[in-house]
Amino acid sequence: MQSWWISLVIAISIIPLLFLSLKSGKSNYEAFKFANQFQRYSDYLKKVLTSRDAYEERTVFQFGDELNKKWETEVLKAININIKQQLANFVKVRASSIVTIFIAVLISATFLIPLQSGSLTIGMFMSLITATFNFVYIVLWELTEVTKQIAHSKEFLFDIVSFFKLPNIVGKVSIQKVPWHTNDISVEFINVSFSYPGTDIKILNNVSFKLDKVKHYAFVGANGAGKSTIIKLMLGLFDNYSGTILLNGVNIKNIDNEILNNFFSVVFQDFTRFELSIGENLKLGNSKQTTNEELISQLENVDMLEIVKSLPKGLETKLGKLYTNSIDISGGQWQRIAIARVLLKDNAIYVLDEPTAALDPIAENSIYELFRKASNKKLTLFVTHRLGTIKLADEILVLNDGQIVEKGSHKELMKQKGQYYKMYESQRGWYL
């Protein structure tokens, strides 16, 4: 028995089904991306509603019910998008099922003629029917499902490839072309202006200054004055500014990010509390091999050594709440760990970007004093809007509305009785 046309029917039937599967895979991925916008927001709300970090605010302000409604709304949006897509897929699946069944029945019908003529036994007929339905199922059902998954994955890979094709920061120079003079390091801003993407507000407006040699500098000013923005530009986190920023005389736009980062060690205001062991916390981001003696030395620099020694596992003690045998430490102790990690990197420039904003003035003064002593032979930058500890700096730069309005030592600025004097006098009571 030869039924060559059966193969032709199957081949012709596959084409529209595969086309339908490709469209379904693509539409599934688009629906996934759209629903994911709401899913991410609902995941954030879930974290606020369930995390220990937000417990106090949830209890005091009683916003649980309100946020729960928002969470439910966002979850339902994501669910409805997925349901609509699944319904559309169901309709397409039913249509393809009818086509599949029709083809299987058509093929099976061709076996009736040899069955009636006696050239095909009942047992063979049933075997052929079973094989036909299995074959059609594999070719016209499983194949379409695989095709749909391939289309979904193709769209995902397209997004990934597009992401990796985004241009990198151009204009790189080698480490040999960036003079590395630890004892004579310099950072210079020349007429730098900057607005954050999507806004026209100038955070920095034609700012110029030079930091050089092994000295301690402080950037002070009210919130929003541009202090932290200066640090972000210095680190190369934004490059859409006008003007020029030089590191040892080299434009930082022409310095590879990895090389640039090797000049700086930074403790940010919102530094991360890594739920790792104390030793792992200190070594994090440090490319060189570090001995326990070096870790102990830095812990001593930040007055954490005795506390670590008192712990049963010492440097191996897990911090945070992630493990059953973890211990949580105070905010000030977390900050000391973060500072010790910076000091351990031994880079040319140290930066303390308001990491003590949540501390009381006495604890803040202690942290700054420790950092100043440990970074005595480095170009060091302090960023703060609280002035009690800034007397420690060799030179203070006062920012207001994105500009450097005053510059000098604490004594010099107090004599001028300008903005710094007014800010310091208004905060004097915090430190008395």
Nearest-10 Cα torsion for 151, 155, 161, 167: 160
Residue where a domain stops, chosen among 129, 164, 199: 164
Question: Cα(398)–Cα(383) distance, rounded to whole angstroms?
Answer: 10
| Whether residue 270 sits in one domain with residue 363 | yes
Query: Do 148 and 241 share a domain, yes or no?
Result: no
**Is residue 92, in this structure, part of any structural domain at all?**
yes
- Give the residue numbers spanning the domain of 110: 4-164
pLDDT of residue 242: 92
Q: What is the pLDDT of residue 1?
A: 47
Q: Which two tokens mark 418?
A: 């300008």
Q: Is residue 323 part of a domain?
A: yes
Q: What is the pLDDT along the chain (432 residues), one digit of tens a residue?
A: 455 666 666 666 667 777 777 778 788 888 888 888 888 888 888 888 887 777 777 777 777 888 888 888 888 888 888 888 878 777 776 666 677 777 777 777 777 877 777 777 888 878 877 877 777 767 666 777 777 788 878 888 888 888 777 665 555 555 445 555 555 788 999 999 999 887 888 899 999 999 987 788 989 888 778 888 998 999 888 888 999 999 988 898 888 887 888 888 888 777 778 888 888 888 887 767 778 888 888 888 778 888 888 888 888 888 887 777 788 888 778 888 888 888 887 788 888 887 665 566 666 667 777 777 766 778 888 887 766 667 778 899 999 888 899 999 888 988 998 888 888 887 765 555
The two beta strands, 242-247 and 186-194, are antiparallel
Specify whether the CB–CB gap between 381 and 233 falls below 8 A.
no
Per-position b or e across 57-74, b if 16+ CB within 10 A of its CB:
ebeeeeeeeeeeeebeeb
CA distances from 181 to 17, 210, 342 (A): 68, 16, 19
State whether 52 and 193 are in the same domain. Answer: no
- Count Cα atoms within 13 angstroms, Cβ side, for 360: 6
389, two tokens:
């500890």
Three-class secondary structure of residue 347 per DSSP: coil
Has residue 202 been placed in a domain? yes
Q: Are residues 152 and 266 in the same domain?
A: no
In a domain, 209, yes or no: yes
CB burial class (10 A; 0-12, 13-18, 19+) of residue 202? middle
147 and 226 inside one domain: no
117 shares a domain with 93: yes
Number of separate domains in the chain? 2
Same-domain status, 10 and 98: yes
Q: Is 405 exposed, middle or buried (0-12, 13-18, 19+ CB in 10 A)?
A: middle
Q: Do residues 11 and 141 share a domain?
A: yes
Domain-located, residue 169: no
Residues 221, 355, single domain; the answer is yes
Query: Which CATH number do you get for residue 326?
Result: 3.40.50.300
Q: Are residues 401 and 252 in the same domain?
A: yes
Does 66 reside within a domain?
Answer: yes
In a domain, 259, yes or no: yes
- For residues 142 and 281, state if they share a domain: no
Smallest CA-to-CA distance from 304 within 280, 337, 279, 266 is with 337
Structure tokens at 286: 């440090």
Same domain assignment for residues 323 and 190: yes
State the CB neighbour count (10 A cutoff) for residue 37: 13
354 belongs to a structural domain: yes
The last residue of one of the domains, among 141, 164, 187, is 164
Measured at the CA of 365, the angle between CA 364 and CA 369, to 5 degrees, comes to 120
Q: Give the model's pLDDT for residue 210.
A: 92
Q: Which one of 102, 130, 164 terminates a domain?
A: 164
pTM assigned to the model:
0.63
